[in-house]
Amino acid sequence: MAKSSSEYLIEMKGIVKKFPGVIALDRVDFQLKAGETHVLLGENGAGKSTLIKVLGGAYLIDEGEIFINGEKVTISSPLDALNKGLRFIYQELNLVEELDIARNMFLGIEPVYEKTLGIVNLSILYQKASEYLNKFHIDLDPRELVGKLSVTQQKMVEIARSLVKNAQVIVLDEPTDVLEDRARQDLFDVISGLKKSQQVGFIYISHRYAEVHEIGDRVTILRDGQNIGCYNISEMTLDEMIEKMIGGKIGKQYPELPKPKKEEALKLVDIHRAPFVNGISLSVNKGEIIAVTGLMGAGKTELARVAGGIDPRDSGDIFIEGKKVANRSVAESIQNGIAYMTENRKTEGIIQEHSIRDNYAGPNTARLSTLGLVKHKDIDKEMTGYMQSLGIKAPGIQELAGNLSGGNQQKVVISKWLGTDCKVIMFDEPTRGIDIKGRADVYEIMEQLLKEGVAIVMFTSDYLEALEMGDRVFVLHRGKIGAEFKRGEATEEDILRVAIGEGSQNY
């Protein structure tokens, strides 16, 4: 039987994975040692998620070999990977929304009564689920249905689930993209503890590049499906890593934004939606971008969904260019000139089984039709243009959206709302899971929209992004505005103090 070096928990040799028209992995080598955190860096579409999906049995390799503890293995399904001691937290959520938290955490490995035919011991199930939730200070009832949780809460449940059963290897794909500082530090503490006490190996993927030196030991850099090199993190600067990742020098991250106009575009007056939004009033002018930020549960997304016509409000008024509007549905919201880009691209932003082109057509078909006849050539032309301007990596507009990397899916979501030609665009976590070049692309699109007089409301949990991009920053605390800062007035620490209930301006 073929063997690899026994110093590695995982060794992948010459991995090739092809999709129609695309070589996602081109003879990639990768090794993971016991007790290390090995960071995978690369732009969206570089092959990072594909590599771990091969390791996890979600994809079958076309060529190459995989070794675990020196023994050659075949991983033909996710169950194979689970049985071999591998645990995965993918960038996209993978929970069963119809089941409660505890049953999701122990799915397939439920504790059962001894000497029975697999009858689940519910008492132990919920007790153990509570213990793992407490490790991350997750204040949730393990009997709560996962479908009722926010995206951030679901991510925390996935992280807790990965620790339920002893694992040799834990793969974390963008684990902190929706986590606050405390939860993020809890995760890092658990990683450090498992590395020292049990020699667990971690494969870590993140676009929060500042985390690389904080959590990593070695880094492998992928570009266009190829392994550019493996390096000791302590011997490289972050700028050097990013330059190898993108194949050139780093450009300016944040643009110089145009001066806002004086005309009001959107005004929210005393918006209530119990228990999340408790009397929020704010406005944004044409050509202005405001950032709305705060902790998990502060009401950011709930406010966005109300303003976008997705969820009903209990009370309050919405004005577009001084005219009061009802906004009782998404269709009505679009007609009124408001577009909402959801934070959850997988389940709400795109239809994965449909093509890029058809996803774009969804909110734009009415605009691109005459007397009920759809102008298909116009749809094709517009989407092709957005593929080029946003840098969407795909063979063509007929590619299924579900085949794209997370960052490219996000760009498809952005493109379809840019096409609606709305007066106000609300971006909910627009750069979550997007690489450094993709972020710059999104910011450049925002800059162009502002120059055209479009008003932007950006809901973000990234405090630095809020400060760098917002003409004004609104910090929410428990469903209310705790403070409003003009550009240059605040620091990340100032925002955090308001977000946790300190330093409020009693707005």
Q: What's the predicted TM-score (pTM) here?
A: 0.70
Q: What does the alpha-carbon distance between residue 421 and residue 263 come to, in Å, rounded to a whole number? A: 18
Residue for token pair 């502002």 = 450
DSSP three-state, residue 20:
coil
Domains of the chain: 1-85+167-250 (3.40.50.300)
DSSP per residue, 199-230: --EEEEE-S-TTHHHHH-SEEEEEETTEEEEE
- Residues contacting residue 391 through CB under 8 Å, at least 6 positions apart: 411, 437, 438, 441
pLDDT for position 436: 80
Q: Cβ distance 310 to 287 under 8 Å?
A: no
SS3 462: coil
pLDDT 10s per residue in the chain (507 long)?
455 556 899 999 999 999 887 899 999 999 999 999 999 998 877 899 899 999 999 999 999 999 999 999 999 998 899 889 898 887 677 889 999 999 999 988 888 887 777 788 999 999 999 988 887 777 889 999 999 887 777 877 887 887 777 688 999 888 887 676 777 787 888 888 889 888 999 999 988 888 899 999 999 999 989 999 999 999 999 889 988 988 877 777 888 899 999 999 999 999 999 999 999 999 999 999 999 999 877 899 999 999 999 999 999 999 999 999 999 998 899 899 999 988 877 778 889 899 999 999 988 888 889 988 999 999 999 999 999 888 888 889 999 998 887 778 888 988 888 888 889 999 998 887 777 877 888 898 899 999 999 999 999 988 989 999 999 999 999 899 999 999 999 998 899 889 888 766 655
Q: What is the rounded CA–CA span in Å between residue 44 and residue 436?
A: 9
Q: Assess contact for 4 and 207: CB atoms under 8 A.
A: no
Could you tell me the end-to-end alpha-carbon distance of the chain, in angstroms, rounded to an integer?
Answer: 69
Question: How high is the pLDDT of residue 375?
Answer: 93
Cβ 353 vs Cβ 333: under 8 Å:
no
- Output DSSP code: residue 65: E
Strand ranges, E, within 22-62: 22-33, 37-41
How many whole angstroms separate alpha carbon 103 and alpha carbon 98? 10
As a whole number of angstroms, the distance between CA 200 and CA 194 comes to 6
> What pLDDT does 254 receive?
87
Q: Residue 253: count other Cβ atoms within 10 Å of its Cβ.
A: 13
Question: Which are the contacts of 351, defined by CB distance < 8 A and separation ≥ 6?
Answer: 358, 359, 362, 401
The CA distances from residue 289 to 269, 298, 341, in Å, are: 18, 20, 15
Would you tell me how many other CB atoms lie within 10 Å of the CB of residue 419?
21
Model pLDDT, residue 507: 55
Q: Give me the residue label for tokens 């308001």.
A: 498
**Burial of residue 322 (number of CB atoms within 10 Å: 0-12, 13-18, 19+):** exposed
Give the C-alpha separation, 369 to 374, whole Å: 4
- Dihedral angle at the C-alpha atoms of 105, 107, 112, 118, nearest 10 degrees? 170
* Predicted local distance difference test score (pLDDT) of residue 1: 46
Do 175 and 185 contact (CB within 8 A), yes or no? no
